[in-house]
Amino acid sequence: MNTRVVENMGKYTGQVLEEIFSREVIEKRVDELAKQISTEYAGKVPILIGVLNGSVFFLADLAKRLDIDCEIDFIKVSSYHSGTQSSGTVRLLKDISCIITDRDVIIVEDIIDSGLTARFLKHRILENQPASVAFASLLFKPECLKLEFEAEYVGFEVADRFLVGYGLDLDQKFRNLPSIWAFPVNMNL
Ligand code: IMP
Ligand code: MG
């Protein structure tokens, strides 16, 4: 098991992170999802809408592996103020800039935790009457879900631990780690 110690991060300093998904494992799973999407959207040109900032690595890798044409746009919302606690409310910070009416939309997210962000995004996209909307999330924490939500494409189901890397951050740090790391299970944040 690969580990790394958190440095220069106030109360998090000294915490030991464990690598839970290596680059190779992520790459293989993203490839599988891309194959599935390519098959299911054959003959269509979906618009991938990445949820900033966390989804950028996943979206880029997924899009590069698709065998079909696609378009790319972004939306930005905020649900986490800081640290690892959700504020419970979702705010739109940047809207999409493309027209999605009658288009096939795939919302691309890094992780579904409570599901509040996912539900907000799906409603927001549906207001513009797309031909279809699906949700692709690299990670999903089933134990944390506070409402009914089903994503069409999920990379990995994970336990209730705070994760960083491959786009996921803690207070804007660790996004650029190429693999996914978990904070300790019983960490009292
Ligand atoms: P939800 O609205 O509670 O489902 O939270 C979704 C958002 O919270 C994600 O898009 C992430 O930005 C953030 N988030 C949730 N869990 C984690 C985590 O374990 N690590 C980093 N960010 C997380
Ligand atoms: Mg996010």
67-97 tens-digit pLDDT: 999 999 999 998 755 566 666 789 999 999 9
* Rounded distance between C-alpha atoms, residue 26 and residue 55, angstroms: 14
Domain count, the chain: 1
Tell me if 4 is assigned to some domain: no
Q: What is the CATH number of the domain that holds 84?
A: 3.40.50.2020
State which amino acid sits at residue 163. L
pLDDT value of position 88: 72
What is the CB-side half-sphere exposure of residue 46 using CA atoms within 13 A? 26
pLDDT at 129 over 60: yes
Distance, CA of 97 to CA of 152 (rounded, Å): 24
- The string of pLDDT tens digits covering residues 171-185 is 999 999 999 999 998
Q: What's phi and psi for 129, nearest 5 deg?
A: 45, 60
- Residue 85's pLDDT is 64
Residues with CB under 6 A from ligand 1: 54, 79-80, 86, 109-118, 162-164, 168
* In the predicted structure, residue 121 carries a pLDDT above the cut 80: yes
Name the residue with tokens 């905020």.
Answer: 78
pLDDT value, residue 89: 85
3-state helix, strand, coil in the chain (%, to 5): 25, 35, 40
The ligand placed nearest to the CA atom of residue 162 is: 1
Residue range(s) defining the domain that contains residue 132: 23-158
Task: Give the E-state strand segments of the chain in sequence order.
Answer: 3-5, 16-21, 47-52, 71-82, 85-94, 104-112, 132-140, 153-157, 163-164, 180-182
Using CA atoms, how far apart are residues 108 and 33, in angstroms rounded to an integer? 12
* Residue owning the nearest CA to atom 11 of ligand 1: 111
What's the CA gap between 124 and 129, in Å, rounded?
10
Give per-residue pLDDT as tens, 144-161: 999 999 999 999 999 999
Residue 74 lies in a domain: yes
Which residue has a Cα nearest atom 9 of ligand 1? 111
Within-domain flag for 17: no
Q: How confident is the model at residue 141 (pLDDT cuts 50, 70, 90)?
A: very high
pLDDT at 83: 61
